Structure 1
Amino acid sequence: MELIRNHLEVLAEFLKPRMDFLNCHMVDYLTKDHWNTFIPLDIRNELNTSDDLIKAKQIFWNQFNGDYLKACGFPAITKHIQIMKRYRLDALPGACMALDDLKFAFNACLKQTRLRMPELMSTKKCHEVEIASAVVASLCAVVASKNSLPSLDQVAVVDAGDGKGYLSSRVALEHGIKVLGVDSNEGHTASAEQRRDRLKKKVRGAVKRSNLNNDDYFTTMLQDTNRVELNYKTTTKLIDFETDLIELVNGQFPDSSSSHFCLAGLHTCGNLGPNCLRLFHQNRHINALCNVGCCYHLLVEEFVHDRYYNQDKIKDNPGFGFPMSDCLRDKGFFLARNVRNMAGESLERSAVNQEDPSDKLGYRAMLQLVLRELKADEDSQVGKMKCKDFLDYTRKSLKRLQIDDSPISDEYLTDMEEKFEVELKQLKVFYLYRMTYAPVVEGLVLLDRLLYLKERGYDNSFLVKLFDPVVSPRCYSILAFK
């Protein structure tokens, strides 16, 4: 526990003096001169021409290529990247576990994904489900072993935030474990049931394709594909601190002999992730946990108020999602909205795909100048906007905001775009520079959750890198068992 606490405190101390920078908003990039305010002088001195700015983007896109960094000729940018790497989860000793290490630790309880069944899923979801379903099944085997249960029939899975049932249906199908998918959205529940029914028709082809025709388990399944439906049920329910998961499971599986439970969640949005950890702690019947969080922007923080938080979503996010650990709560530590938004950025995917920041970031920053010129509310939220160019973006934005645009001519807007040509190129480098902090912030959020479990005595709690971050950016899972 002390190691995790130390890592968390190091990240908190590293981020705290940089919070003004991390919480700056891109809409204020021009009006508040973010480039000169937040980019260190030594880096600015390396970026004197448009060609330098183009090369800087290439450096950020190649930051995982050590040879490229050594030869790039921009020592200040390279130094910054190397410093940021020290604060990422995979660079902190003992902070997280690799998937191969987890498989080794499962030992005799390890369950494998044998069924190749990419139907009805995207490439990303298929990658996640094939790995996560085996991990959840292995956790169930651990629970059975540690409690001397005769079989997995005594263990059931509750999938929190089930969505379309990708994970839960796979666990039920491939491993024969009873799974209850719980989601607060009726539409998601209906979609999950429809997908389950469609999935049954794909089983025979998947078994043949996976060369499992002679496997006893799958041979029996092919004789009665309704076993998928018998093992996987869904219900619509908002999971909160008062939720009786055991009652829910028994209601859906009245003949079940399950007495022990694994609480799973693949990309639990906002507060649902933290609340799953709390349920694991509060409910003695939940023996294991596998939780992959996402949507940090939907977290409700205890020590800062988010005035832009969608009030309609408050009811779906009971309690506080950050911080969880006593360590950060005692400090009154907070992130705030823009930092949480940034934590969801994908550094690896951006680098591999060489993703150029959207031109709309610059359009919105220039719109802020237009709003100031018109003496309009500069806190106005425009939202997503389809547009051809800056002129089109501005006209549509002002119309959406119900602001009279007649004082602003097309020539004025065209001249503005030409005037800030260099600044707009700098903005894209600024965005990529700021993105290097994203994995550090995410690491802080995840270590805070892990420490919450450690503080409550769960020594068998771990942070595991389950997925390829290029394929699935939210690649870390909290695993625990009692």
Structure 2
Amino acid sequence: MNNCAFQRFSKEMDMILQSANEELSVSIRKCSCILRLYSWLIDAYILDFFVEDLWKKLPRSWRETMAGADFSEVGMWLSLSQAPRYRSPWPLSLQALRVAVQSACLPRSSGGPAHPLLATHPTPATATPTAQVPPSDGSHECHTTAEVTLRCTHADALREGSGAKGLRRPFLKHVSPKKIHEIFKMADVVCQIAEETGVTCVVDVGSGIGHLARLLSFGHGLSVCCIEAQETLSCRARELDGEIKKFLSKIIPEERLKALPRPSHVTARVGPELEESDFIQMVSQSFQGSFHLAFGIVGLHPCGDLAPYLMQLFVSCSEARFLCIAGCCYMKLTPGIGFPLSSSGNDRDEVMQLSYEAREMACHAIEAYSRNLLHGNAASLKIHCYRATLESIILKNWPMFRRRGLKSIKYDENLQFPDYARKVLSAANLIPPEEDILSEETNECLRCWKQVVCFYSLRLMFAPLVETLILLDRCLFLSLKGVRCKVSPEFDPELSPRSHLLIASKNAEVV
């Protein structure tokens, strides 16, 4: 690219980024405005339902409507993917709330309505593939992306029907249905970005026992460096690598299997305490010291502050060409460090703030909850009422244990409250007073279980909005650093509630 062409390109990119930044800022302000307006509801603890008489804090019209509605109506109202139908008119305030939240939220599934921001804030056009990586046999000869693709053509069979059964099987072993869905979806996205950016090396941070890494390496022919903080998980990952290579040796030609790189596993903790130079050295050694080191950073549900740190690492490392992460555990974000990231959040008079309750709620499965309401399984949601009723007993007898994390008990139709209370309290070495467990006051609380479910549903409506705010803040952070990115709903939220992937890439000619 000559100097004049480069200047024109830079000017066009600056204009596009400025426009995108403005749109992101507007969307962020919209989310923040709604969340601030209803913070009294979002920040409420459901276990304080009876302790603080939360039902009476709702507007009277909301209480009357919820009390008269059946659970299927509440489920339809809660679901953002379908138009609700009401037996009788609902208050305009409730209907307007739903519309406001729906319009501000990012889509939660690929088949849902498109968010205007996603259409105007695409990833950049990719450069000609130039990155190279040393082969897995340790020699210094490098292979281009095209050559790597040719030696692992069986990867296409992983996405096919009947031909995929033999090749898919080893990748499914020891993997839950949820994880299977996630790793296959994410692997497809990662491989597409790798091809577009000319990268054949991937750094999988927080790799666990390596399910995604094995699919990327043995399934798609990418060189993968796995970085995991726990040595026991890294050891298990190496064992599973050996198992899958042994299995694949029976179904694909030996020369093709030899061409596939095997994941390398490094035990290290990635965070602010890890210097960037040490990170690059660790990755370079893993990829056998390539002189043309270029890689993508991936993370399947990195916890808490790890996701923001990976974003910062991506921005600062010229060797990092793309980023693909799925968020998780927002309640573990450190205020001011993990959120907000964008300067707009820090510079505005009204700083973006999200309470722990809001961030924790953003991790809940709204689709599963709505489905239970729609399909007549609301009785299974009585567990919220049980916990709120138990909190009243705890506050009366052991006030120092208020809002204490207690053992989770799964509800079933045979589980009665006295049995629930005894199990939960005994796990905390507390002896429940029988007179409180069986009192009329307790029974009166238990009869209000529908109110608890409705209140919980009202709070849960805001969960996708909280997640949207966090994701848009991350997009704006990257955009302000000159990196174009997008948030894409790649996972089925019914299986994986954290369904979005944050995808960013750099133009190789600009880096």
Give the TM-score taking structure 1 as reference length: 0.80
Q: CA deviation at 1:164?
A: 1.8
Q: Residues 193 and 58 from structure 1, CA distance in 2 versus in 1: closer, same or farther, beyond 3 angstroms?
A: same
The letter for the 2-side match of 1:444 is L
1:81 aligns with 2:126: no
The letter for the 2-side match of 1:11 is C
1:301 match: 335
Task: Answer yes or no: is the 8 Å Cα contact 1:133–1:171 preserved in 2.
Answer: yes
> CA separation in 2, counterparts of 1:34 and 1:233?
53
Q: Residues 197 and 375 from structure 1, CA distance in 2 versus in 1: closer, same or farther, beyond 3 angstroms?
A: closer
Query: Which of 456, 465, 474 is the equivalent residue of 1:449?
Result: 474
2:209 aligned counterpart, secondary structure: coil
Q: Deviations over 1:140-183 (max 9, x none)?
A: 22222xxxxxxx5xx41111111121222111123322110111
Structure 1 stretch 240-249 or stretch 287-296: which is displaced more? Answer: 240-249
Q: Residues 250 and 14 from structure 1, CA distance in 2 versus in 1: closer, same or farther, beyond 3 angstroms?
A: same
2:32 aligned counterpart, secondary structure: helix
1:94 match: 116
Structural mapping, 1:39-438, within 5 Å: 39-49=58-68, 52-60=69-77, 64-66=81-83, 69-76=84-91, 78-90=95-107, 93-96=115-118, 113-115=156-158, 116=164, 117-118=168-169, 119-120=172-173, 121-144=175-198, 155-203=200-248, 219=253, 222-223=254-255, 225-228=257-260, 230-241=261-272, 242-243=275-276, 244-254=278-288, 256=290, 258-302=292-336, 320-330=337-347, 331-352=350-371, 354=373, 356=378, 358-374=381-397, 376-386=399-409, 388-403=415-430, 405=432, 408-410=433-435, 413-438=438-463
1:147 match: none
Structure 1 stretch 471-480 or stretch 390-399: which is displaced more? Answer: 390-399
1:96 aligned counterpart, secondary structure: helix
Q: Residues 297 and 441 from structure 1, CA distance in 2 versus in 1: closer, same or farther, beyond 3 angstroms?
A: same
Q: Deviations over 1:294-325 (max 9, x none)?
A: 111221212xxxxxxxxxxxxxxxxx211111
Query: Which of 471, 478, 492 is the equivalent residue of 1:468?
Result: 492
1:12 aligns with 2:11: no
2:16 match: none
Q: Residues 186 and 74 from structure 1, CA distance in 2 versus in 1: closer, same or farther, beyond 3 angstroms?
A: farther
2:448 aligned counterpart, secondary structure: helix
Q: Residues 201 and 78 from structure 1, CA distance in 2 versus in 1: closer, same or farther, beyond 3 angstroms?
A: farther
The letter for the 2-side match of 1:19 is S
Q: Deviations over 1:52-95 (max 9, x none)?
A: 354544434665332xx235434235554333212211367433
> CA separation in 1, counterparts of 2:476 and 2:311?
11
2:505 match: 481
Structure 1 stretch 320-329 or stretch 331-340: which is displaced more? Answer: 331-340
The letter for the 1-side match of 2:266 is T
Long gaps (5+) in structure 1? 145-151, 208-217, 303-319
Give the TM-score taking structure 2 as reference length: 0.76
Q: CA deviation at 1:12?
A: 0.8
> CA separation in 1, counterparts of 2:403 and 2:428?
7
> CA separation in 1, counterparts of 2:30 and 2:78?
27
The letter for the 2-side match of 1:200 is K
Q: CA deviation at 1:124?
A: 2.2
Task: Answer yes or no: is the 8 Å Cα contact 2:193–2:322 preserved in 1.
Answer: yes
Long gaps (5+) in structure 2? 1-20, 108-112, 130-144, 150-154, 159-163, 507-511
Q: Residues 410 and 172 from structure 1, CA distance in 2 versus in 1: closer, same or farther, beyond 3 angstroms?
A: same
Task: Answer yes or no: is the 8 Å Cα contact 2:210–2:237 preserved in 1.
Answer: yes
Identical amino acids, percent of aligned pairs: 24
Q: CA deviation at 1:348?
A: 2.3
Q: CA deviation at 1:440?
A: 0.3
> CA separation in 2, counterparts of 1:412 and 1:461?
54
Q: CA deviation at 1:15?
A: 0.6
Q: CA deviation at 1:130?
A: 1.9
1:339 aligned counterpart, secondary structure: helix
> CA separation in 1, counterparts of 2:405 and 2:314?
40
1:262 aligned counterpart, secondary structure: strand
Q: CA deviation at 1:271?
A: 0.9
- Alignment RMSD: 3.0
1:24 aligns with 2:47: no
1:440 aligns with 2:465: yes
Q: Deviations over 1:190-220 (max 9, x none)?
A: 2221221222234367x6xxxxxxxxxx65x
1:70 aligned counterpart, secondary structure: coil
Q: CA deviation at 1:123?
A: 2.5
> CA separation in 2, counterparts of 1:175 and 1:48?
54
Q: Deviations over 1:215-255 (max 9, x none)?
A: xxx65xx4363554x43111111112324332112322326
Q: CA deviation at 1:380?
A: 4.7
Q: Relative contact order, CA 8 A, sep 6+: which one is greater?
A: 2
> CA separation in 2, counterparts of 1:48 and 1:123?
37
Q: CA deviation at 1:413?
A: 2.4
1:176 aligned counterpart, secondary structure: coil
> CA separation in 2, counterparts of 1:26 and 1:389?
20
1:317 match: none
